[in-house]
Amino acid sequence: MKARFSTKCTACDEFIEKGKEIAKNEDGNWVHKHCVDEILEMPSGSIVKKPIERKVVASNPDDLNTDYKYVLVNDKISKTVDNLAKIIAGKIKSIELGNLSARRDWGFAGDYVEAMWKILDYKEPEDFVISTDQIHSAEDFVKTCFEIVGLDWKKFVKINSKKYLRPAEVPQLMGDSSKARKLLGWKPKIKFHELCRMMVESDLKIFSISLEKAKEIAKKL
């Protein structure tokens, strides 16, 4: 079916243009057709049709665990993990990125959802900053993700700062969640390295490749 008017896809948060192919997802919402099913060409050359794995938000803080993906990240980070999986799957040979010196306070969405529940349950309205209070550069993230599968990132990443220049990019952003920790008793459970591992494993699953298998493939690259 084709869209009769423009709207927003609830699966990928991008706009569906009038005339584009659409389909209903498992929640009964109209989304891009490719957001419901995706044809994946596997490394062996076989074609497999499978549902796209989507971001999950827990409805109850007790449900939060490391099976939930994903984190809130910028395009540079999501592009890195996605393309790392494609390198392992034999789809591409390298990645082109821009400035990797930007430093950010990255955290796991599941931890932040738990903080939201605690804020809503607090005895009176308050403003809270939710963060890990730790900072890592984009280079740290890229390096860690590649190391998780046993690759040297410098052999596969090409830097093109001019092409991907962001004039208004803030060099450093870090939160201070001390108030939330004190009043709510909240603190993040997922550390930086574990966050990277979760993201890498999640994108590898799209190609039906386990982390152990990825490490074996990496030895031959």
CB 199 within 8 A of CB 211: no
| Mean pLDDT computed over 198-215 | 94
Confidence at residue 37, expressed as pLDDT on a 0 to 100 scale: 53
Strand (E) positions, the chain?
Answer: 7-8, 15-16, 22-24, 30-32, 37-41, 47-51, 95-97, 103-104, 136-137, 157-159
Question: How many angstroms separate the CA atoms of 40 and 95, rounded?
Answer: 20
- Helices 138-148 and 192-205 sit at what angle, rounded to 10 degrees? 60
Share of the chain above pLDDT 90, in %: 52
Confidence at residue 27, expressed as pLDDT on a 0 to 100 scale: 66
CB 61 within 8 A of CB 114: yes
Question: How many angstroms separate the CA atoms of 143 and 5, rounded?
Answer: 43
| Mean pLDDT computed over 194-201 | 94
Confidence at residue 30, expressed as pLDDT on a 0 to 100 scale: 80
Q: How confident is the model at residue 13 (pLDDT cuts 50, 70, 90)?
A: low
Domain spans of the chain, in order of start: 53-218
The CATH number given to 53-218 is: 3.90.25.10
The label of the residue with tokens 């490394």 reads 43
pTM: 0.64
Torsional sign, CA 105, 146, 42, 213: negative
Q: For residue range 76-104, what is the model confidence (pLDDT) as tens digits?
A: 567 788 899 999 999 999 998 888 888 99
